[in-house]
Amino acid sequence: MSDPVFDIAVIGAGPAGLSAAKKAAQGGLTVIVLEEHAKVGEPVHCGECLSAFATKRMGLELPEEVVALHVKGIRVVFPDNSSIIFREEGYDLEKHLFEQYLAVLAQGAGAQLHTSSRVVGMKRENGVWTLSTLGGEVRARAVIDASGFQSVASEFTGLNTEKTKTVMGAQYYMEDVPNDGYIEFYLLPRLAPEGDLWIIPKKGGRANVGLVTAESANAQKYLKQFVKEKGLEGKKIIKPFGGAIPASGPLRKTYGDGLILAGDAAGFTSPMFEGGTQLALKSGELAALTIVRALGKNPRPMTPDINDMASMTDEKKEAAIGEPADPLCADGLSEYEHAWREEFPPYVKLLAGKHEMYALGEQGLSKLAHILPPDVTGMGAQKKALIALKALAAFGPGKVMKIKSALDTFAYSTGEMYGW
Ligand SMILES: Cc1cc2nc3c(=O)[nH]c(=O)nc-3n(C[C@H](O)[C@H](O)[C@H](O)COP(=O)(O)OP(=O)(O)OC[C@H]3O[C@@H](n4cnc5c(N)ncnc54)[C@H](O)[C@@H]3O)c2cc1C
């Protein structure tokens, strides 16, 4: 008997891949997830925070062991040490346990998971993909690439020739770091040019202390200096870790024939603080739903008869089976892009706002802090109008639109807006 043809092969068992696998399996499709590492979730390469808005939106009820701390919200600290808070509850996760929990949900829905299965190549013939892994070949009608920032399917198929721009995240997992239940983000260009720094607390004084910066080569130097300035020098570093984060917005093509990119592989990260887990979870789900719907038009695996028709024109095939020849052709999957564009924030606009924010420099950022109220939770029209007036007075009419653009990006950093 020949190997089975799965409906979907998912590359990568991160948040995007596991969310996709669960949704597709729930939709009645046969799914295999191929993960290069021996254990799901390990090694961790994340600051590990996730808003309660995200878990609610995804219908996830987190088991207590995956939660490293229930957090009250976010404090943003500016160069002159002034700060604002945003009260929005969420979690610092034990991310490896969170991903293992997602794997249990995906497998519970019927997906197969193969670890130690690095995908090293893929090709599509007659509507069926063959994926080469170090352990053998896997065949599937559709592929969801959820391989993270490396976006391996783009490389194997040439779907996107332009690589996504990434920024380097570096962090220490530390002990004995005081916290008051807020995640702290620092806008401090001197130590994180075109980026930010963070202290993300966990129970028992543990915390992820890190940064993201476009100056990858200096990331470690800046992190050491930040630790020193926060008075944490000499505290135990349990481990240093980090990784690359997509920072130029969605890739030009997020779908192709029989292929969808989700999560970091599609370039979905929040423009301001580069959180990507919520976007990964949601885009995985949207990718799966797109394929479930496309195959709904032709739910049975292709039969040899249909494969034999490979030499016919599309019109002849359609006439023969009364359906589009390939329900998974790029046109058939284009609804994915409509779905994420409708669901996610307007990235191009927000990336522009982020650059306006960076362009302010240390002095401008501190000035910005002073036009904002100390608590920016749930601001109504009146408070926003007051901020606009203060921006006009502080920065002058020539800069007011740039400040608005920067503040819009900032406003999209909430969990509700897929910021974390
Ligand atoms: C330092 C740092 C801090 C961060 N902090 C936060 C944060 O606090 N909150 C937040 O929301 N986001 C944060 N992010 C971003 C977040 O980690 C990602 O956006 C999120 O994990 C994306 O999920 P994903 O499933 O798309 O990709 P990933 O989590 O990267 O998962 C991809 C999976 O694919 C596997 N894989 C890769 N190539 C192959 C292959 N060829 N074959 C098989 N498997 C393969 C990988 O092993 C991995 O398991 C941070 C990122 C970094 C680097």
Can you give the CATH number for the domain in which 218 is found? Answer: 3.30.9.10
In a domain, 319, yes or no: no
Both 174 and 286 in one domain: the answer is: no
In a domain, 418, yes or no: no
What pLDDT does 136 receive?
94
Domain count of the fold of the chain: 3
Both 43 and 114 in one domain: the answer is: yes
In a domain, 89, yes or no: no
Distance CA 277, CA 264 (A): 9
Both 112 and 216 in one domain: the answer is: no
Both 216 and 146 in one domain: the answer is: no
Nearest-CA residue for ligand 1 atom 51 is 46
In a domain, 308, yes or no: no
In a domain, 276, yes or no: yes
Both 394 and 259 in one domain: the answer is: no
Q: Which numbered atom of ligand 1 lies nearest the CA of 119?
A: 42
The pTM (predicted TM-score) of the whole model is 0.93
Domain span at residue 404 reads 347-411
Both 351 and 207 in one domain: the answer is: no
What residue ranges in 135-236 does DSSP mark as E strands?
136-145, 166-174, 182-186, 196-201, 207-213
What are the distances in angstroms from CA 368 to CA 158, 298, 373?
43, 55, 10
What pLDDT does 271 receive?
86
Q: Which numbered atom of ligand 1 lies nearest the CA of 41?
A: 49
Amino acid at 1: M
391 lines ligand 1 (CB under 6 A): no
Local structure of residue 214 (DSSP, 8 states): S
The H or E element spanning position 365 is helix 361-369
45 lines ligand 1 (CB under 6 A): yes
Helices (H) and strands (E) in the chain, counts: 14, 16
- Helix H segments across 4-90? 15-26, 52-57
Distance CA 189, CA 77 (A): 12
Both 266 and 209 in one domain: the answer is: no
Chosen domain end from 343, 371, 400? 343
Both 41 and 122 in one domain: the answer is: yes
Both 99 and 12 in one domain: the answer is: yes
Both 10 and 154 in one domain: the answer is: yes
In a domain, 331, yes or no: no
In a domain, 206, yes or no: yes
What pLDDT does 316 receive?
55
The separation between CA 149 and the C-alpha centre of its own chain, rounded to angstroms, equals 9
Distance CA 147, CA 128 (A): 20
Q: 265: CA distance to ligand 1 center in Å?
A: 9
Backbone φ, ψ for residue 293 (5° rounding): -65, -45
Both 121 and 26 in one domain: the answer is: yes
In a domain, 67, yes or no: no
- Angle, helices 381-395 vs 361-369, to 10°: value is 140
Both 108 and 173 in one domain: the answer is: no
Chosen domain end from 228, 246, 264? 246
152 lines ligand 1 (CB under 6 A): yes
Chosen domain end from 315, 343, 371? 343
What pLDDT does 36 receive?
97
18 lines ligand 1 (CB under 6 A): no
Q: Give pLDDT tens digits along the chain (420 positions).
A: 467 999 999 999 999 999 999 999 999 999 999 999 999 999 999 999 999 999 999 999 999 999 999 999 999 999 999 999 999 999 999 999 999 999 999 999 999 999 999 999 999 999 999 999 988 999 999 999 999 999 999 999 999 998 888 998 999 999 999 999 999 999 999 999 999 999 999 999 999 999 999 898 999 999 999 999 999 999 999 999 999 999 999 999 999 999 999 999 999 999 888 899 999 999 999 999 999 999 985 544 444 444 444 555 555 555 555 555 789 999 999 999 999 999 999 988 899 999 999 999 999 999 999 999 999 998 888 999 999 999 999 999 999 999 999 999 988 899 999 999
68 lines ligand 1 (CB under 6 A): no
